[in-house]
Amino acid sequence: MTRRRCPLLLLSALGLLAPSRGWSQPPVVRGAAGDPTLQRQLDAWFRFAARHARGAWGVAVANENGQLVWGVNPTTPFIPASTVKVLTTGFARTVVGSNARKQTRVVGSGQLDPLSGAWLGTWALELSGDPSFEREGHPGGRLADLAAQLATQGVRKLTGPLTVLNERGAGNADAQYPDVWSPRHRGRIFAPLIGSLTVHENVVGLTVAPGAKIGATPVIVGEAPEGMSSLITMKARTVVGRRARLRYQVQPGGRYTVLGTIGLRARPRTFTSVTRDPHAVLEAAWSAALRRAGIEWIRSSSLSTPTDVTARSTLAVVSSPPFDSLAAEINRRSLNLGAELLLRWAAGGDSAADRLTAHVQQISGDYGVHLVDGSGLSSDDRVAPWTFVSYLARFPQLPSGKNFPMLLPANGTGTLWRLARGMPIRGVVRAKTGTLGNVASLVGYLGHPDGVLIVSLMYNGGHVWAARQAQWKLFRMLGADGVVIPSDSTEDADHLGGAERP
- Confirm whether 465 is domain-assigned: yes
Residues 135 and 31 in one domain: no
pLDDT above 70 as % of the chain: 88
For residues 197 and 134, give the distance between their C-alpha atoms in angstroms, rounded to a whole number. Answer: 12
pLDDT above 70: residue 1: no
Looking at residues 360-372, what average pLDDT do you find?
91
- Confirm whether 473 is domain-assigned: yes
Residues 251 and 193 in one domain: yes
Looking at residues 274-285, what average pLDDT do you find?
96
- Confirm whether 48 is domain-assigned: yes
Residues 56 and 120 in one domain: no
- The band of 25, judged by pLDDT with boundaries at 50, 70 and 90, is low
Residues 115 and 230 in one domain: yes
Q: Which distant-in-sequence residues (6+ apart) come within 8 Å of 177 by Cβ?
A: 186, 187, 191, 193, 194
Q: What is the DSSP letter of 29?
A: E
| Domain final position from 303, 321, 339 | 321
pLDDT at 52: 96
- Per DSSP, which regions of 403-450 are E strands? 429-436, 439-448
pLDDT above 70: residue 7: no
CB 261 within 8 A of CB 210: no
Alpha carbon separation from 154 to 184, 293, 430 (Å, rounded)? 49, 11, 49
CB 452 within 8 A of CB 423: no
Looking at residues 62-90, what average pLDDT do you find?
95
| Domain final position from 281, 301, 321 | 321
- Confirm whether 368 is domain-assigned: no
pLDDT at 5: 32
240: amino acid identity, one letter: V
What DSSP assignment string belongs to 150-188? HHHTT--EEES---EE-GGG-SB---B--TTS-TTTTTS
Alpha carbon separation from 352 to 83, 92, 201, 395, 429 (Å, rounded)? 17, 11, 21, 20, 30
Residues 192 and 131 in one domain: yes
Q: Which distant-in-sequence residues (6+ apart) come within 8 Å of 252 by Cβ?
A: none
| pLDDT tens, residue by residue, 253-267 | 899 999 999 999 999
Looking at residues 284-305, what average pLDDT do you find?
84
Residues 268 and 392 in one domain: no
Residues 408 and 452 in one domain: yes
- The band of 205, judged by pLDDT with boundaries at 50, 70 and 90, is very high
CB 482 within 8 A of CB 453: no
For residues 422 and 420, give the distance between their C-alpha atoms in angstroms, rounded to a whole number. Answer: 6
- Confirm whether 329 is domain-assigned: no
Looking at residues 202-222, what average pLDDT do you find?
97
pLDDT above 70: residue 381: yes
CB 17 within 8 A of CB 11: yes
pLDDT above 50: residue 79: yes
Q: Return the closest-CA partner of residue 268 out of 211, 212, 207.
A: 207
- Per DSSP, which regions of 73-159 are E strands? 103-112, 119-126, 157-159
pLDDT above 80: residue 122: yes
Residues 146 and 257 in one domain: yes
pLDDT at 495: 36
Residues 392 and 454 in one domain: yes
- What are the residue ranges of helices labelled H in 293-373? 323-333, 336-347, 352-364
CB 297 within 8 A of CB 290: yes
pLDDT above 60: residue 345: yes
- Confirm whether 145 is domain-assigned: yes
Least confident window among 134-138, 153-157, 409-413, 416-420 = 134-138
Q: How many CB atoms lie within 10 A of CB 405?
A: 25
pLDDT at 311: 55
Residues 37 and 125 in one domain: no
pLDDT above 50: residue 13: no
Residues 115 and 17 in one domain: no
Least confident window among 29-43, 162-176, 232-246, 392-406 = 29-43
| Higher pLDDT among residues 365 and 60, named by residue | 60
φ/ψ bin of 352: left (φ > 0), alpha (ψ from -120 to 50), beta (otherwise): alpha
pLDDT above 80: residue 48: yes
CB 499 within 8 A of CB 390: yes
pLDDT at 280: 96
Looking at residues 83-105, what average pLDDT do you find?
97
pLDDT at 30: 74
Residues 453 and 398 in one domain: yes
For residues 430 and 35, give the distance between their C-alpha atoms in angstroms, rounded to a whole number. Answer: 22
Q: Return the closest-CA partner of residue 99 out of 304, 403, 384.
A: 403
Q: What is the DSSP letter of 78?
A: B
| Higher pLDDT among residues 36 and 476, named by residue | 476
| Higher pLDDT among residues 483 and 444, named by residue | 444
- The band of 8, judged by pLDDT with boundaries at 50, 70 and 90, is very low
CB 212 within 8 A of CB 192: no
Q: Which distant-in-sequence residues (6+ apart) come within 8 Å of 480 by Cβ?
A: 422, 423, 424
- Confirm whether 367 is domain-assigned: no
pLDDT at 137: 80
Kindly report the average pLDDT of the chain as a whole number. 88
pLDDT above 80: residue 243: yes
- Domain of residue 447, residue span: 8-77+383-479
Q: How many CB atoms lie within 10 A of CB 300?
A: 10
492: amino acid identity, one letter: D
- The band of 64, judged by pLDDT with boundaries at 50, 70 and 90, is confident
Which CATH number characterizes residue 426's domain?
3.30.450
CB 286 within 8 A of CB 292: no
Looking at residues 185-197, what average pLDDT do you find?
96
Number of domains the chain contains: 2
Name the 3-class secondary structure at 296: strand
Name the 3-class secondary structure at 21: coil
| Domain final position from 321, 342, 369 | 321
- Confirm whether 273 is domain-assigned: yes
